[in-house]
Amino acid sequence: MRYVPHIGHLGAHIERRSNCRRFLACPTCGTTGQRVSAVERTVAHIALGRPAQMQARVSVYRARCGCAATFKLRSPEFPPKGQYSDEVRNVVANSLIRDCLPYWKVQERMVEDFQLKVSLGYIHACFYWAYRQVNTEARRRWAVEHFSGVLCIDEVHDSGRVILYATDPLSHITVHFAINTVNDQEHMDAFLERIAQRFNHGRQRHGCGCFKRRSMIVSKSTDVVDLTMTRLARFRANGDVAEMIT
């Protein structure tokens, strides 16, 4: 659906913020500085169905230490030297990660819902910001705890890189991923080995010559692994699909 102007346009929405303390501690050493002036900042903001801006009055303080001549109060609602408020960054990051939208779809959403145009570079920066907020080890432990027992492994080639990823199609989660510059058996084996180490009952079996790459079955139960390998062996020997379901 193409974007069309909303009927009954409400006009721009402006939010104003002011934080003008008389004294503020230096962010480097903690020495108290005194306010000497204030500056106005305007950044793009979020409002449903109409353009929005955030106008903030930020104080400038004279430093009484040797760290700098002056320093400014850091506003918690938008980054220093940024053009967008933190709320814009949060909406873009949620659209990418939570809603799984591609970059161009995020651009369309921002225009249709908030009448705000954002560049691909800004969207990419929001994605990296969100990635830095993730505790990787905690995320991996959570993926193992919520693992359903079914694992799909695939690869994507992009800009000379190979992205290997393992997903759980039943729980709709990514168990593990790796980015390599070479697509060979050695990197695939290392990728499968790292996955197997995360599961107490994960096993690797080899010997099926019909597969170009090693096959791996992962489950929380050793009995499920043994049963699956038995059915695969019977299918390989007899060539009958019925051997997989009997």
| Position 183 pLDDT exceeds 90 | no
pLDDT of residue 218: 58
In this prediction, residue 12 carries a pLDDT of 77
pLDDT tens for 39-94 read: 888 888 888 888 888 888 888 888 888 888 888 777 767 777 788 988 999 999 99
pTM > 0.75? no
Q: Give the per-residue pLDDT at 88.
A: 93
Q: How far is the CA of 119 from the CAs of 83, 92, 198, in angstroms?
A: 12, 11, 38
At residue 3, does pLDDT exceed 70? no
Confidence of residue 1 (pLDDT cuts 50, 70, 90): very low
User: Which letter does DSSP use for residue 216 in this model?
Assistant: E
What digits encode the pLDDT tens for the residues 147-159? 877 778 888 887 7
Handedness of CA 32, 38, 44, 45 (dihedral sign): positive
Q: In the chain, where are the structural domains located?
A: 13-132, 138-244
Of residues 72 and 215, more confidently modeled: 72
Q: Tell me the pLDDT of the chain averaged across its residues.
A: 77
Is the CB of residue 15 less than 8 Å from the CB of residue 55?
A: yes
Residue pair 19/75 in contact (Cβ under 8 Å)? The answer is yes
Output phi, psi for 72, to 5 deg. -110, 155
CA 79-119-6 angle, 5° bins: 100
pLDDT per residue as tens digits for the range 108-141: 999 999 999 999 999 999 988 888 887 878 888 8
Decide: 210 and 201 in contact? Cβ < 8 Å: no
